[in-house]
Structure 1
């Protein structure tokens, strides 16, 4: 079975299965009776991930024990017990280099008087800064390298050293993954939201850790949610919090991973600014300006060229578009006011018998995926290792009757939030999910809904029974791994 990669479109804490290797050594004392017994060691020029990981370790251990473990540079030649955070001369002496790790892979290792926390990290180079991409939420890679006043965000404003740049959501940050796993696995920390109320930190004066080495990567390769954290449902769930706390929370629950994006790309903004040729405008007055004629060959040519330009690194993606990494997204606007020209009507007529009685059906599938296939076919000629990404959503949720090009990457949209209370909707979802598993050759992603019915209840101000569904969510996620 092909690997499935998941995008979580409303917050959900992810617990990963563990792969263990190595052997347990003697217990390692971090703090004894409120006094630090080791130092945190980072490189003289640490990666953004190592810099944040060191601060997060120092802060959380201080909140647990009251003791401040000092952060030192590898050049300080510190003796005694040490926690090596990120690649440094000290890790290289042990034969450990960040470049030897796979993307998202990280290590927690116990050696004599040494704990090692490291992984593959994004390097702050000019070339890496120039990488193009726009996320599912229409933010550039650089915009996702958020800036925060760290000590103010964690509740110690008197320690403020000004703003720092966090590792980008979709930048490699294996050292952060190692640090967060270490804090959860060995120190008992849990993050259920961004505010102080949502964080569980045990209290003790002595903190000792021991265990086997862990070298692994997350089972879900793409993990994404609402980066702004501003939806009413989140406000109701988390209470009072700041935007900076949200940015830290996204790192703590390991958002990010493989670069992928998929969301509506044909809409009023992109049609007005980029796709404004009169020849392929929608002939349905209700859809004019928000939909296009998806059977028009000129539109196919233009979109295919946009994808080629993106993959070749030519210029900036237009605002409102979505593409990251090896994936260029094409998704219609969120309405069914579709073109009424003869060619479009002919394809749409093929879906008249594909209603399901649920939100997700196949009425548009022959129509929409004919366009997706046409674009993908052209792009494959010049970029055979790249993908056209799209959603399987609403009236184009089910797979079409024809085969897809091998470079079409589909993300089925599943209503996981209704599974505990709506068996029929769950079965309908699983029908088209299984269809896509069988039909698609490319990597498959998922868009998973977690916000109903709490979100509409908060917006429309009606009473909603608390919708806690941890067991159903866990069962669903086990299907995706």
Structure 2
């Protein structure tokens, strides 16, 4: 299990945010509203004949277009009907009106107050509104890998509608994992639903496996996995926290200019052998390293392209809009240079990583640069620092063993205790 620990400044009430990314990471606090009438009074399908239409305002973005296509697809499979898509509601029809628009606002739906990934499902007479915040740049049809990270509140609401009222289930990718009940008759109740995630971070992953009875080879594809992220309403953003000191190509960019950024072994030699697993270990007391890392952080958090810093791009595992990760590479090796030895005389060795994090985050705070530094309690530095104070623009991820420790009492207790001392 991985857990993000937020500083007290982030425990914010709904819609009061100091930074744009605060809306992303704040835990939703507004109560759900799920009111569904007992009687089903909205006629949808009678003897195979549909009363429905989908209303998609002119100029609708790709998220809304995809949401309409999903409604059409699953009504086709479940009810054997073709739903028309129109630009305005017809009072003689039952209209499913998608997105934040003039009609949804007239019905009292305010999408500006929704937490990240929240949505409304509300009926008024023969109109059913499904609305959330949708990113104009998002493209669900091409959503896989990093491209699933965009707001799609209306699409989340569509999948909720399909599950709740048509009985559709998305268990895992492919036809076998998708359950689509058949309907010849279908009426819907009046509804007033406001729903949102319990947690901002919600992920799904499926690795290639050999169980072809469940994942036929032709079905296992990264696009199917991406589609599953949409079906399951997973997170629409990513807080990066993954070995940035390697992903930022620090050695490749700066080692020739600043040899002292490389960690020194016990014999006074720098780790300069590219074939060694220890290559890329850095000296965290190096002023040159800290200055260049600070410049990287300022550049990214100010919205500059990575090319300004000699990179082809900002690695999404470590760098995301509003977030800059500071985390050593795996195969960590202690640096024994004179500066680091002096530090170890005054602090535990694990504090050196936190000292680096605090230095960069503090300089960003002092310079007025918006955004957050992310770091992980991991490896030989899993616990909170004892001699270093972390600024409030730092977000900490705690690394524990997760499901592999559930049946090992000592390991689980160790992880639980680590979370407890951080929180």
> TM over 0.5: same fold?
yes
The equivalent residue for 1:445 is none
Q: What is the TM-score of this pair, normalised by structure 2?
A: 0.79
Alignment deviations for residues 1-59 of structure 1 (CA, whole Å, 9 cap, x no partner): 9679xxxxxxxxxxxx9811556375323322322211011111112221121111221
Q: Describe the SS at the equivalent of 1:378.
A: helix
Q: What is the TM-score of this pair, normalised by structure 1?
A: 0.70
Q: Distance in 2 between matches of 1:234 and 1:379?
A: 49
Q: Distance in 1 between matches of 2:241 and 2:422?
A: 16
Shift of 1:73: 2.3
Are positions 1:333 and 2:314 aligned together? no
The equivalent residue for 1:105 is 118
CA contact (8 A) 1:104 1:119 kept: yes
Give the one of 82, 94, 116 matched to 2:95. 82
CA contact (8 A) 2:42 2:190 kept: no
CA contact (8 A) 2:117 2:236 kept: yes
Q: Distance in 2 between matches of 1:293 and 1:275?
A: 12
CA contact (8 A) 1:42 1:87 kept: no
Are positions 1:428 and 2:409 aligned together? no
Are positions 1:122 and 2:109 aligned together? no
Decide whether aligned partners of structure 1 residues 116 and 384 sit closer, same or farther in structure 2, where only a CA change above 3 A counts.
same
CA contact (8 A) 1:287 1:339 kept: no
Q: Describe the SS at the equivalent of 1:411.
A: strand
Q: Distance in 2 between matches of 1:397 and 1:214?
A: 42
Shift of 1:62: 1.9
The equivalent residue for 1:410 is 396
Shift of 1:94: 2.7
RMSD: 3.2
The equivalent residue for 2:293 is 303
Decide whether aligned partners of structure 1 residues 384 and 84 sit closer, same or farther in structure 2, where only a CA change above 3 A counts.
same
Give the one of 270, 273, 280 matched to 2:261. 280
Q: Distance in 1 between matches of 2:241 and 2:229?
A: 19
The equivalent residue for 1:171 is 150
The equivalent residue for 1:360 is none
The equivalent residue for 1:463 is none
Decide whether aligned partners of structure 1 residues 369 and 324 sit closer, same or farther in structure 2, where only a CA change above 3 A counts.
same
Q: Distance in 1 between matches of 2:144 and 2:340?
A: 48
CA contact (8 A) 2:66 2:141 kept: no
Q: Gaps spanning 5+ residues in structure 2: where?
A: 1-5, 12-29, 266-270
CA contact (8 A) 1:100 1:120 kept: no
Residue correspondences, number: 377
Q: Describe the SS at the equivalent of 1:109.
A: strand
Q: Gaps spanning 5+ residues in structure 1: where?
A: 5-16, 125-141, 149-163, 353-363, 438-481
Decide whether aligned partners of structure 1 residues 344 and 167 sit closer, same or farther in structure 2, where only a CA change above 3 A counts.
closer
Are positions 1:51 and 2:65 aligned together? yes
Shift of 1:235: 8.0
Q: Distance in 2 between matches of 1:268 and 1:98?
A: 37
Decide whether aligned partners of structure 1 residues 419 and 30 sit closer, same or farther in structure 2, where only a CA change above 3 A counts.
farther
Give the one of 364, 377, 380 matched to 1:392. 377
The equivalent residue for 1:218 is 197
Shift of 1:108: 0.7
Q: Describe the SS at the equivalent of 1:118.
A: strand
Alignment deviations for residues 237-289 of structure 1 (CA, whole Å, 9 cap, x no partner): 74442332222111111222344211111227713443433231222335664
CA contact (8 A) 2:176 2:214 kept: no
Decide whether aligned partners of structure 1 residues 288 and 105 sit closer, same or farther in structure 2, where only a CA change above 3 A counts.
same
CA contact (8 A) 2:326 2:373 kept: yes
Q: Give the structure with higher Rg (CA).
A: 2
The equivalent residue for 1:137 is none
CA contact (8 A) 1:376 1:408 kept: yes
Alignment deviations for residues 406-428 of structure 1 (CA, whole Å, 9 cap, x no partner): 11111112322124311111111
Decide whether aligned partners of structure 1 residues 28 and 238 sit closer, same or farther in structure 2, where only a CA change above 3 A counts.
farther
The equivalent residue for 2:242 is 263
Shift of 1:230: 4.4
Give the one of 4, 8, 33 matched to 2:47. 33
Give the one of 33, 38, 46 matched to 1:20. 33
The equivalent residue for 1:468 is none
CA contact (8 A) 1:23 1:212 kept: yes
Shift of 1:345: 4.1
The equivalent residue for 2:84 is 70
Q: Distance in 1 between matches of 2:146 and 2:108?
A: 25
CA contact (8 A) 2:301 2:370 kept: no
